[in-house]
């Protein structure tokens, strides 16, 4: 029997279900084993909720009941509009803005590369030299990332050459 990170009822139930099914994949043909093993992946409130339940006729019943019980803990991915709320604050370093933008980007599904670049540039302070550089040059997501990294390193060294267009 595989070991599980036990679900306590405090996190996303879908994540736990996926983890459980992945670890039980070798026994995918044995639905009874799935039903019997599932309680061993629970603890605390979720474990006590599960027992006494004798109305489960299939693992699909278990999934439905579990998901419905803990649905309020579901974490939803955000759409691209979320990134429109990410702006560089006055006086904020480029490095901090980039780090925050990237952390928020991980919460978004279906990121279109061109739109992400446009939103990133739009969020920069218009007075920042890097904003002027990116607006002047048409950049892709990968170019924008590599140029922003180079700019952060140049800022640390006090080098202004990254403000100029590449040859």
Domain hosting residue 105, numbered range? 80-159
Report the predicted TM-score, pTM, of the whole model to 2 decimal places.
Answer: 0.51
Q: What does residue 42 show for φ and ψ, rounded to 5 degrees?
A: -115, 160
> For 92-104, how does the pLDDT look when each residue is reduced to its tens digit (9 = 90+)?
998 999 999 999 9
> For 69-123, how does the pLDDT look when each residue is reduced to its tens digit (9 = 90+)?
998 888 777 888 999 999 999 999 989 999 999 999 888 877 788 888 889 888 9
Indicate which CATH number applies to the domain containing 94: 1.10.1200
> Is 70 exceeded by the pLDDT of residue 166?
no
144 and 91 belong to one structural domain: yes
Kindly state whether residue 48 falls inside one of the protein's structural domains: yes
Q: Show the 3-state SS of the chain.
A: CCCCCCECCCCCHHHHHHHHHHHCHHHCCCHHHHHHHHHHHECHHHHHHHCCCCCCCCHHHHHHHHHHHCHHHCCCCECHHHHHHCCCCCCCCHHHHHHHHHHHHCCECCCCHHHHHHHHHHHCCCCCHHHHHHHHCCCCHHHHHHHHHHHHHHHHHCCCHHHCCCC
């Amino acid at each position: 029997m595989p070991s599980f990170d036990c679900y306590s009822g405090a996190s996303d139930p879908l994540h736990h279900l996926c983890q459980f099914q992945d670890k039980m994949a070798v026994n995918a043909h044995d639905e009874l084993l799935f039903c019997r093993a599932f309680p061993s992946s629970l603890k605390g409130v979720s474990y006590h909720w599960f027992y006494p339940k004798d109305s489960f006729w299939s693992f699909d019943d278990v999934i439905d009941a579990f998901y419905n019980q803990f649905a309020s803990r579901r974490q939803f991915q955000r759409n691209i509009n979320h990134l429109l709320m990410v702006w560089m604050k006055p006086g904020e370093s480029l490095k901090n803005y980039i780090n925050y933008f990237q952390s928020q980007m991980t919460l978004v599904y279906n990121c279109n590369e061109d739109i992400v670049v446009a939103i990133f540039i739009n969020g920069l302070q218009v007075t920042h030299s890097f904003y002027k550089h990116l607006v002047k040059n048409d950049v892709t997501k990968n170019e924008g990332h590599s140029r922003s990294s180079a700019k952060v390193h140049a800022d640390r060294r006090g080098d202004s050459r990254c403000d100029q267009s590449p040859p």
